[in-house]
Every structure is written in C-alpha cells, then in structure tokens.
Amino acid sequence: MANPLLLLDRVYELRVPKAGRQGTVSGYFDDSGLLHEAANELDGKVPSVYVTMNSVNPALLARAKNRLRYHAKTTTGDADILKREWILIDCDAVRPADISSTDDEHQAALDRTQSIMTWLSSQGWPEPVRADSGNGAHLLYRVDLPNDQASLHQVKAVLEVLAFRFNDTVVTIDTSVSNAARITKLYGTMACKGDSTEDRPHRRSQILHTPANLIHVPVEKLTELAKLRPVDTRSLPPPFNGARFDVRDFIQRHAISTIREKPWNGGTVHELEACPFNPEHGPGESSIIQFSSGTLGFKCFHNSCQQYHWKDLRDRFEPDRPRYAGPAAHVRPHHGVPPSDEDAPVLTQLSTIPPELVRFLWSKRIAKGKLTNLIGDPGLGKTMAALDIAARISTGAALPDGLPVEAGNVIILSAEDGAADTIRPRIDRFHGDPSRIYLLQAVKQQGKDRPFNLADDLHHLEQAVRQTQAALVLIDPLSAYLGKTDSFTDAEVRGVLGPVSALAERCDVAILGIMHLNKNSSSRALYRASGSIAFVAAARIVLLVARDPEDENRRFLTPLKTNICSPPPTLAFSIDGSGLLTWEATPVGHVDPETLLNQVDKQERRTKVDAMAWLRGFLDEGEQPASEVYAEAKKGGISERTLERAKLNLMVKQRRVGFGADGRWLWSLPHTTPVGDQWSQTPSNPLIIPKDAHTSPTAQLATNDPHHTSPNTALATNGRSLDISTTYAHTSPIDRQLDIEEVDLAR
C-alpha cells in the first residue's frame, strides 16, 4: 500500500537516529522510490527507520540528495518545515523502555486508536489514515496549518486533550509529537526494539487503511477540541499549609462513582462513571482533576457541560459549606489571583495540639520529620559520609558516634554519582544492605521517564516514602532538584522547601539535603551555603563538613545550626586512598565553624600566593616549556590545580611551537616581550617581595641558595627579588586585597 504521508513533489528526510557505529544516518529525498531503496538497506538492521512527517525545505537536498550519509551532524529542525500537513496521534503500549510490545499490548494500542477515531468522528472530524507502528498504533489526520507558534500550541493542546481523555495504565498517547519537524515510522519497515523474543517479537509496521478521500480537519474543529484542555487556573502555586484538599475523601463522602484514577501532567485525574450534571454523559466523559499545583478542576467533554467547573461541582454536593466572602475593598488579591470560595485561612487552636518531643534518627544531628542540610566544599567527602550513614541505617549498625539506630529503608536521589559505578560500590564497602536502599531516578509521565524535581513532583516522593516506609531520604545535591526554581531567590526557594519540610513531618521521615559552599570566604559560615539563605533557613539542623587545616586527609563534621536541640560535639573522619572512610571513636569536642573555615580559606590563599610566587620566579628568565613547569611544580609540592590557578592569576601567556608530536607549549610572563631573538622585561611595579621575605612558614622566597627547599615547597628564585605586581594586574580588587594581605602577613 502506498505511503500517503509522502506527497508528490515534496522533499522528506529519511533518518535512523541510532544506527550503532554508523551514528545518525540521514538523507534527503524528492524521489520516494529512491527513499524506499535507501530504507531497505537499513531495514531490520537498526531499531527503526523514520521519515519526517511534514515535508521540508527543498534547499536541504543539498545536504545529501537522494542518498544516505552516516554520522550526520545536522538533521531537520522545526524551522526547516514549510507547513504542517499532518497531526500524528501515537498510541503506545505502556511497557519498559527499549523492548517490543507483547501481542496483547500491541492489540490494546490498536483498539485504543479505534476508540479515539470513533470519538473524534462524533466531534466532526474526518476519517484518518490508520497505521500499525509495529509496537503501537497511529492515527494520521490531514491538516493545512502554518508552521508557527500558534499552530504548535494548538496541536499540543489537541494531543493533551486526547491524552487526558484516553490515557490509562495500559496505553498512553505521546504528547511530545507536536513539533513540526517530528519524525515518524516509515511504514513498511521493521520495528526492532530490543531482542525479538517469542512473547515480544519484532514486527513490520504498515498502513492499515487510507480513506478514499483524505479531507483536512477544519481549523475550527481543532480549535474546539483544543479548548477542552483542562487549565490550571492558578497562575502561581498557593502558599503551602501542610496538606492538599483530599479529593479521594470528597469522592467517597459523596458516593461519587468513578471508573479509574490516573496520572496526567503531574496531577491526578479521577474519571467519573457519569457526569454529575447530566447522567446521560457516560463513563469517562467527565472527570475531577487535581493539578500538580493542588488546584482542583472539573471537566465534562460534552458541549452542554462546558460552563461547569470545580466550584459548580462543589456547590452541587456541598451547597451549605462555609464561604469565603472575599477580601476587603482595599486589599489586593495576592499576585493578581482572584480569590475563590475555596480560599480561607487555615486555623488550628494551639490547645488542641499535644506537645511532643523532637525525635531523632541520629541524636542532635538528623531529626525525624525534619529537613537537615549537610554542607561543605566539593571533594571533601560529604556524599561518602552521607552514604556511610545511609548504609548504617539500612542494617541497623551503630552510628558514627556509637549510638544505636533502628534498621530502616533509605531513598536516595543522586544527580552527581552513578548508581552502578559509585553508589552501589560505596554502599557495599560500607557494609550496607542494598535491598533496603532505593534510588529515585525519574518520574514516569505518559509512559516515558523524565527527571524528578521537588517543585513539581513532591507527591511522587511522598508516594515513594509511604510505599517503602523510608526512614531517610538523601538528596544529593539539593540544588539539582529544584526544577525551574531560581536558587538565589529566597521566596522561590522557600516555596519549594516549605512543602519538603511539610512532607517530612507528615511522613515522619528524615530528609538530608547535601549542598556545596559558595566561594565568598568573607561571609559568615551560615551564609556560605550555595544559593539563597533560604536553604539554611528552611533546615532545622545544618551540619558542616570541613577539612582539618592541620591534616589534609582529616575531616570535621561539626554543627553549624541547631534550632531544635543543643549542638552535638564535633566528629572527625578520614578517607584513605582506596576510598575507605573511618570515623574517629572519640569526639573532637567543640570546633568553631567560623574559625575552621577561615583557617582553611587562609591556607588555600597562602598556597595560591606561594604558587604564584614560585611560578613568577620560574618564568622570570623568559618562556619555559609547559612540561618542565608542571614537572618542577610537582617536585615542589604544587598541585596541577593550584598551578593552573596561579597561571590564571598571573595571566601567563602560552604559545605552541612545532607541529604534531614535535610540537610543545611554552609559557611566559605577561610582561615579558620578545625583542628580536632576545626576551626583555618591562618596567616592574614598585610592589615587590624583598630577598628576606617569607610568604608562609612552609615556603621561603628569594633565598641566596637556589637549591634551598622548605619542608613542603621549593621556590626557586635564583636569589632575585620577585616582582608580583603583574600577579594583581588582572585580578579582582577583593582577590588582590586578600593575596596582598597574605604577603604582608608573611613579612
């Protein structure tokens, strides 16, 4: 059967996104015969062969005219589509990723397209092309729409209405196919996801039926259907008061018959047996919706019920409920959101709340029902310490200070470490029980996985906590799970973390968020957490991991904030080269976080100044091979990272001489300029380090003995004064001040 998608005298792209070693395979064709010949070369050898659903700009033929190119870097974008010619309704069986559907799943998708087609026909839509995609089923409706934003929004709304109406746990409609440059299966080719097995075979896609007369869907019919999309009327999330309206309780109290509950766009849809306003509107034609924001809605698909909303439904079942009279005339609605009769203050008389003691998962460090933050510089072992604690909880082993803990389940959200190569090996090394530890890696929406974020998916986290009865939730790092929230805006951060804290209290679960420190060493320790101060404000306890200034491998775990208890003693741990973490049996006692961070910061600045002085002296004779600079710096105890920072601060120039294996990089100071074949120095700044100066107790500058080495750092200066003026010419005033202070202190 001829492919009706391929219109005459049009250009289409043939594409295979995953062709193994051949990368992305792409070609542009104005000859459908040649297109199918090219497809036959790959058919059955790749997961799927695709073609653009809409014709493309003929100029793209110049990329690969009527032929295939391998490892293609450029494919068709939305701007390359001339106009929209088709709307694709893609019904896919719900199943794990990258495997074929079973026969039952495949048939369920085919049956669903029949239901959709029948319903759309009742809405005045013409007959579509019906196709079998191999694992699911397609409906293709002919349209004539411009390729613009208005059409994109209209098509997306149409698909979301259909997903709202027909999605369930068996078959879902893919709403991501709304863009103009969407590719679809080239019918007649094989669908080869995963291995072909007896119960999940590979199948050939095919056209099932093409109408004798393909009629365009009238624009007004598209508009009518798009208007049926349920809309969250709240423009901003409401202030969180600790609980949402309980829709299930409302349905149960009023004996409203439902046929199913299903997820939709991050919220929940309760499909009703019959419309409360017209019982003739049957199963699944009306629904109660709770959007991801918590806002409630009601939708019936019949035109006669379009005027009814959630307020009307609530009035029907609870006409005598207390009403909110609205704000006084001089009070403006918050953010321009008009108040409704569902808005009211939530008051609780304090005398009705029995007092309770704070309960701890780890005494005075991690509280049950609260948010605790663990902060520190990158690379110090925050995550390793947290995973060690998680491992101990999973088995009920004693905590690092020897206190007992009841064995419990743990949920981990990790955006930085791999599950198989990092998290699992560490849990095993710490003797944890991996069967009691769960990774929340994504959220499934409309049959596909997407990243989890706290702003939109907190109800999924609550479901996971209740399902696993988790004792601890570890979020690493907290800032990676904020969605579109601005992490530097207090109000936005509080709007996310407030509900997180409320979830912890509702579920009696301890939540531990890991955060990095910012680089503002002049701030107090409490203000060093990266992002808004709201991160620290929202947590009841904040713990700091910091390096022991006197021992490179030793770390302190010290309290930075304890709002609900007295501060616990500081603990110490070390991490050896094999990644083994060892806690010291005896607490360190009180360690002042401000002093601790200041000592570490001063040490780091001193190290940088020492490295800058060393590099300045090494390059004072003129340019030097970079390989020799690295080698000599390593001998002197200067790390590559510190050397790179010194190079950046000195504005060291680099140039390459030679080619290929014979080439090499040369470094020189910025004030060293070539004069003929010689190198000369430009005038120095008066700020110099005299010969008898010392920049730190462990590093001696400008000694008369060029071979002198301090215990930790060798600073070769050939007996000359070191002009460090260039060091500060291109650094910030704050950095200049800090570094110069270090030099002055050393004098």
Give per-residue pLDDT as tens, 684-716.
333 333 334 333 333 333 333 333 333 333 333
Query: H or E stretch including 501?
Result: helix 490-507
Are residues 35 and 244 in contact, defined by beta-carbon separation less than 8 angstroms?
Answer: no
Q: What local confidence, expressed as pLDDT, does residue 216 receive?
A: 96
Element of type H or E holding 700: strand 699-700
Residue 9, pLDDT > 80, answer yes
Is pLDDT above 80 for 151?
Answer: yes
pLDDT digits (tens, 9 = 90+) for 374-401: 998 888 899 999 999 999 999 999 999 9
Enumerate the H helices of 321-423 as residue ranges.
382-395
* Model confidence band, residue 520 (pLDDT cutoffs 50, 70, 90): low
pLDDT value at position 679? 39
The share of the chain scoring above pLDDT 70, in percent, equals: 81
601 or 95, greater pLDDT: 95
Among 407-416, 479-488, 538-547, name the one with the lowest average pLDDT.
479-488
The pLDDT value recorded for residue 50 is: 96
Rounded to an integer, the average pLDDT of 128-150 is 94
pLDDT band at 519 (very low <50, low <70, confident <90, very high): low
**pLDDT tens across 662-672, in order?**
788 898 988 65
Q: Which of 151, 6, 15, 139 is nearest to 83 (CA)?
A: 151
Q: Which pLDDT does position 536 carry in this prediction?
A: 86
How is residue 365 annotated by DSSP?
T
Mean pLDDT of 734-746: 36
Confidence of residue 1 (pLDDT cuts 50, 70, 90): low
The pLDDT value given to residue 20: 81
pLDDT of 652: 87
Q: Categorize the per-residue pLDDT at 225 as very low, low, confident or very high, splitting at 50, 70 and 90.
A: very high
Strands 694-696, 672-675: pairing is unpaired
Distance CA 66, CA 46 (A): 20
Query: In sequence order, which residues have a C-beta less than 8 Å from that of residue 357 and are 6 or more positions away?
Result: none
| Residue 746 pLDDT | 31
pLDDT of residue 302: 82
Q: Which of the residue ranges 136-145, 327-336, 571-580 has the most confident prediction, judged by mean pLDDT?
A: 136-145
pLDDT band at residue 328 using 50, 70 and 90 as cut-offs: very low
Task: Indicate the pairing of strand 672-675 with strand 653-657.
Answer: unpaired
Q: What is the pLDDT of residue 606?
A: 61
| Lowest pLDDT segment from 110-114, 198-202, 489-493, 518-522 | 518-522
- Amino acid symbol at 546: A
- pLDDT at position 241, please? 43
**Domain 360-590: CATH class, spelled out:** alpha beta
Q: What pLDDT is attached to residue 662?
A: 76
pLDDT for the residue 742: 36
pLDDT digits (tens, 9 = 90+) for 93-118: 998 888 999 999 999 999 999 999 99
Answer whether residue 82 shows pLDDT above 80: yes
Compare 445 and 141 and report the one with higher pLDDT.
141
Which residues fall within 8 angstroms of residue 58, CB to CB, at 6 or more apart? Answer: 11, 30
- Find the mean pLDDT for residues 491-516: 91
Amino acid at 457: D
Compute the distance between CA of residue 186 and CA of residue 639 in angstroms, rounded to an integer.
56
Confidence of residue 528 (pLDDT cuts 50, 70, 90): low
pLDDT at 523: 59
Task: Check residues 323 and 242 and name the one with the higher pLDDT.
Answer: 323
Highest mean pLDDT among 186-195, 609-618, 683-692, 702-711: 186-195
- What mean pLDDT value characterizes the chain? 81
More confident residue, 702 or 520: 520
| The pLDDT of residue 268 is above 60 | yes
Question: Of 81-90, 159-168, 172-181, 658-667, which gets the smallest average pLDDT?
Answer: 658-667
- As a whole number of angstroms, the distance between CA 650 and CA 669 comes to 7
Q: Which amino acid is at 159?
A: L
Above 60 in pLDDT, residue 725?
no
DSSP string, 628-640: HHHHHHHHTT--H
What pLDDT shows up at residue 412? 97
For 52-73, the pLDDT digits (tens) are 999 999 999 999 999 999 998 8
430: helix, strand or coil: coil
Q: What is the pLDDT of residue 176?
A: 84
Alpha-carbon span 245 to 517, nearest angstrom: 38
pLDDT of residue 394: 94
Task: Indicate whether 718 pLDDT > 60.
Answer: no
pLDDT at 672: 52
Nearest 5 degrees, angle CA 499-CA 505-CA 509? 105
- Enclosing H/E stretch for 103: helix 103-122
- In this predicted model, what pLDDT tens digit does every residue of 401-437 receive, in sequence order? 999 999 999 999 999 888 998 999 999 999 999 999 9
